[in-house]
Chains A and B, each alone.
Chain A
């Protein structure tokens, strides 16, 4: 790999002035009740970008109060779907008008590639809002086939006040993935962005207000999970919590929901997704895809294809290709258009990843590439590939959430299905083969929420996404996601003299 940055490289883009640093409650930017703030850090330099209002329980209470009022008495849930659509389309247009600034915020705050932000993350955020804008007037209930003289139907009603807790790895996409369907459904909400990446969420709140989303409908509370996040999970007046993050924290969210008002919870958690390569593939192409699968977004992606199972017939050839290709994988300042990989999000993640790399080295795996920090300053780590990994090694079992690939060898379809499923997670899987039977058999056999055949990270607005097992439950994206934010009410009444039943 090439290291272009030691954290002091000239920035390629003028970083934007930070406009929004306060909590967004009831349509206003306000300080936290305590007056406290926290630092948000540039992972390229470890320097402070800005001080952000630190929301806590009192602030969550205020936001819930505003959202409650907006739901119980405000216009949003009472607007026809086509009016919500109109406002959401405006919101999407405003996102499109501010792509560069939003992309830059996610880059300085999260170390994400600026170029990809401009062409993928932010445009797809606008697309997602537009998709759900189009769904706002397509939320259908059903009229029912009753077995007696009854007329019955279902109404799909907004669930109420929603708390969204989102992670730092895709600040923009996570924001719209949660907010889009909830807005379309007619809910009001508060969003707690990750404390590592609070900047773009505040910007989106501002754009939402400009678009005409009424005050109180969308509130943003920046702060920490153990304080603001916990206050959301245990709030008695929040009707639904939608969380994306680690499996450990997901468990806490669900416990808090159970201990408070039994609010329904949807969880999108960790993964250790298999990326399975069969003998019949074009090794060159698949090696590229496997690198993306493990190192895209610095490996900070819950669906990372972090267990690369390679069939024995092409195992050596595949390793040669990987070794050759990873040399051209450039680590450096994410504003540099030549760079493939920026810094990890913060010190804690950086240290955790490096300790997993140590585990790998000591546990008997072979280090094919990388294995070291990628510079003296900033949280850069070399893209790291371990081979000869066995299923019981820590690096093959736990979610590393960094640029660390584990390569494992297998012989048969049956064997790889068994090993791929031998995990507590079940988020995604990649299947690389041109054999139709293999593709069909394996895709049905893997216990995971998304299967990509001869592609990876093929996300789409219309593609539901979420986990089996301890990767969580319920789905984000697609029309499926609307269900999280809807209650179903069945209505029945007797009828007389109906000519048909």
Chain B
């Protein structure tokens, strides 16, 4: 409530003055210009975590991790490379081959994971502050949504550990057949910077619950939160070598993990381009199976029966949440022509109201983008939108002179063939497209190389049912968006990836299926 009251007051102050978006931002987002708030946390861990020990990189090298609010250095972190990946894989291999992790009872694993979840819960605010400092996401979002969700994910998979069932199977003939679901071995996992903790939970939760060991490479932009939670995991009783964390860069540490001959499984979340490289490296090395969760250009479809105010709010959230840095962002807002004008006007007003500033400041809606590279890339896409003939309704530029803040940007009159309608921008840029009928929007929504998610906004049951089946995407949110839960599988069609994470489905990524067949003599039945 407080947030809204503040915003209304600000609007009131502007009075009847006819304003340009730019001026409004300069007023409403003072936070971006103030001195950054000092994060209420210290960085305690900045080394690699291998075999239960914090160690320096073999090379002794480090790299800086930056505060996206200012571009300044938070701390230097050990830079893992081939040799460090080798050490981590060797530790994970030993922990898998010799135990105790895969050899202990599932219930023991459950208890350790539950203890870990309790510990993270206890350190909620500290971990959240670290996440925000490193990533630039809102502290309220880290502390009230993401860390609690991290805890729930681990509790969920703790509950799976002792319920991993194979089948007994009725074969043709007098055979006793059963399947054993066995841990696959050493899992190499590479996670992105947009949700560092949650991405870790999606991957590590099912891998460890099913008895695997893990080498996880964090994104070089956000190495910090993984180190503190992995430390807590060991405090909870995780044996050494079961979870190894290597900070470092993709072309060095990441590539070494992907091409390692002793890694049994890869799971990668990141860009489609890098996903291709990951799959190639697996194919060139030991053919390890790969789970990929890649980019998207997800449609958010506002149908003619929509309550426009609600649709605007949800479409706004679907795109701008987390600074637009979501692989499933609803970045193609398709609006039915009957409600298009009203929608556009309100979507623009909503974007103008969005409060952008220091993510540690309560009540903000948007923090800075992750780094200079993304920042420049987004601004380039914005320029391409303007140059390509789309109408810039609001925003379109950086915000402030320091850090990586970008104005919430809305384009209208967007055509399917424009770059901003085809590429993943991964920033606060909403593109609004007009459509006439259902068949048309289905065709256009599916005309993408991506297929991660879609939003459908309608109260018409038939429309909802038609769209949910027709859209070639891994998740359809009907009258909601970004509804994530430990139980709901997530992943992509087409070039948005392969495999599914979360839910029961994710266990499959980390289990081998062994069929065991033996003849039965004189069976009573078959």
Contacts and interface: CB of A to CB of B under 8 A. Distances in A.
Contact of A437 (B162, B470, B521): B521
A215 B489 CA distance: 34
A497 interface: yes
B160 A495 contact: no
Contacts of B465: 151, 493, 495-496, 498
Contact of B160 (A81, A133, A138, A445): A138
B524 A445 contact: yes
Interface string B502-526: 0010000000000000111111110
B218 interface: no
B469 A137 contact: no
A163 to B, nearest CB: 27
Contacts of A133: 159
Given A85-B155, A444-B525, A496-B466, A131 B162 contact: yes
Interface in B240-272: none
A450 interface: no
Nearest to B209: A134
Interface in A109-153: 127, 130-131, 133-138, 140, 151
B176 A440 contact: yes
Contacts of A461: 107, 162
Interface residues of B, number: 33
B273 interface: no
A462 interface: yes
Contact of A498 (B111, B158, B470): B470
A499 interface: yes
Nearest to B487: A137
Task: Give the residue among B462, B465, B518, B523 with the most A Cβ atoms within 10 A.
Answer: B465
Contact of B163 (A138, A440, A445, A496): A138
B323 interface: no
Given A437-B521, A440-B523, A135 B163 contact: yes
A131 B111 CA distance: 10
Classify the interface of chain A: helix, strand, loop or mixed: helix
B523 A441 contact: yes
Given A134-B110, A493-B465, A496-B465, A444 B162 contact: no
B525 A89 contact: no
Contacts of B466: 495-498
Interface residues of A, number: 35
A440 B524 CA distance: 10
Interface string A463-501: 000000000000000010000000000000111111110
B228 interface: no
Contact of A462 (B163, B439, B487, B525): B163
Nearest to B159: A134
A137 B461 contact: no
B452 interface: no
B152 interface: yes
B155 to A, nearest CB: 7
A134 B521 contact: no
A151 to B, nearest CB: 5
Contact of B110 (A81, A85, A130, A436): A130
Contacts of A135: 159, 163
Contacts of A86: 155
Contacts of B156: 82, 134, 137
B114 interface: yes
B309 to A, nearest CB: 28
A85 B159 contact: yes
B312 interface: no
B48 interface: no
Contacts of B128: none
A494 B465 CA distance: 9
Contact of B520 (A85, A417, A444): A444
Nearest to A89: B114
B486 interface: yes
Contacts of B518: 436, 440
B461 A493 contact: yes
Nearest to B470: A499
Interface in B148-169: 152, 155-156, 158-163, 165
B522 A82 contact: no
Interface of A: 81-82, 85-86, 89, 127, 130-131, 133-138, 140, 151, 413, 417, 436-437, 440-441, 444-445, 461-462, 479, 493-500
12 contacts: A85-B159, A89-B114, A89-B155, A134-B162, A134-B163, A138-B487, A436-B518, A444-B525, A462-B163, A495-B465, A498-B466, A500-B469
Given A134-B158, A496-B462, 18 more contacts: A81-B487, A86-B155, A130-B110, A130-B114, A133-B159, A134-B110, A134-B160, A135-B163, A136-B159, A417-B524, A440-B176, A440-B523, A445-B524, A495-B466, A496-B465, A497-B439, A498-B465, A500-B469
Interface of B: 107, 110-111, 114, 152, 155-156, 158-163, 165, 176, 439, 461-462, 465-466, 469-470, 486-487, 504, 518-525
